[in-house]
Amino acid sequence: DIQMTQSPSSLSASVGDRVTITCRASQGIRNDLGWYQQKPGKAPKRLIYAASSLQSGVPSRFSGSGSGTEFTLTISSLQPEDFATYYCLQYNSFPRTFGGGTKVEIK
Amino acid sequence: EVQVVESGGDLVQPGGSLRLSCAASGIMFSNFNMNWERQAPGKGLEWVSYISVDSNTIYYADSVKGRFTISRDNAKNSLYLQMNSLRAEDTAVYYCAINGIWGQGTMVTVSS
């Protein structure tokens, strides 16, 4: 199974900050990776697919990069509505595996 | 607008069974491979099962293999998860998603 190591597990940031979250795969997954945002009590929302493609309707302050084993989600200027938990998901092979999540909190 | 609606969650005793459904609208359901995922209370996301567009390819997480069965009916734009021999550790919100759009989930609680 492919393990997805996500870091950090939590972070505190201020509105306007640039935020970076990383996922490392235990083996190469090409660009078969998505990023998801989840707010308390709500379903996950896909932000990025194929490592760097922005889901329709998602603000352009979200971006993804990486290929192979190392991937990054960047929020260029954190907004109040961005405080949430973020997960990566590899879909290169089964079982699909999620990262452990990154909780983004208000500083 | 794409809509995804899960249903069928309930409180069930250990060893019991449930059948979850997922209905998709506003999208050509038959063109998309489908997955079930779940989230235990206070925990992260876990993939459960996959089915291809033609139902010919199916995968399960080891944790549910032999107990859960995924299926789909493209004529009804629907996905199903038959869950047997339920355990306390199956307690979770169960989600389906199509083309990145997730439903609101349905809660399964396994408890005596």
Convert the pLDDT of each residue in A4-22 to its tens digit: 999 999 999 999 999 999 9
pLDDT at A107 > cutoff 90:
no
More confident residue, A107 or A68: A68
Chain B residues in contact with A38 (beta carbon < 8 A): 45
The number of helix segments (H) and strand segments (E) in chain B equals 0, 11
> A7-12 contacts: CB < 8 A, separation 24 or more?
A7/A102, A8/A102, A9/A100, A9/A101, A9/A102, A9/A103, A10/A102, A10/A103, A10/A104, A10/A105, A11/A102, A11/A103, A11/A104, A11/A105, A12/A105, A12/A106, A12/A107
pLDDT of residue A106: 87
pLDDT at A48 > cutoff 90:
yes
User: A49, exposed or middle or buried, with CB in 10 Å at 0-12, 13-18, 19+?
Assistant: buried
pLDDT of residue A75: 98
- Tell me if A94 and B59 make a contact (CB, 8 A cut-off): yes
User: A47, exposed or middle or buried, with CB in 10 Å at 0-12, 13-18, 19+?
Assistant: buried
pLDDT beneath 50, residues of chain B: none
Size of interface A-B (CB pairs under 8 A): 41
A102 interfacial to chain B (CB closer than 8 Å): no
pLDDT of residue B49: 97
Cα of A17 to nearest chain B Cα, Å: 25
pLDDT of residue B66: 98
Chain B residues in contact with A9 (beta carbon < 8 A): none
pLDDT of residue A83: 92
B59 interfacial to chain A (CB closer than 8 Å): yes
Contact A52, A65 (CB under 8 A): yes
User: Which among A44, A94, A101 is the nearest to B102, CB-wise?
Assistant: A44
Distance CA A55, CA A71 (A): 17
Q: B 72-111 residues with CB below 8 A of A?
A: 95, 97, 100-105
- Tell me if B35 and A95 make a contact (CB, 8 A cut-off): no
pLDDT of residue A24: 98
Cα of B15 to nearest chain A Cα, Å: 25
Average pLDDT of chain B?
97
pLDDT at A94 > cutoff 90:
yes
Alpha-carbon dihedral sign for residues A21, A18, A53, A56: positive
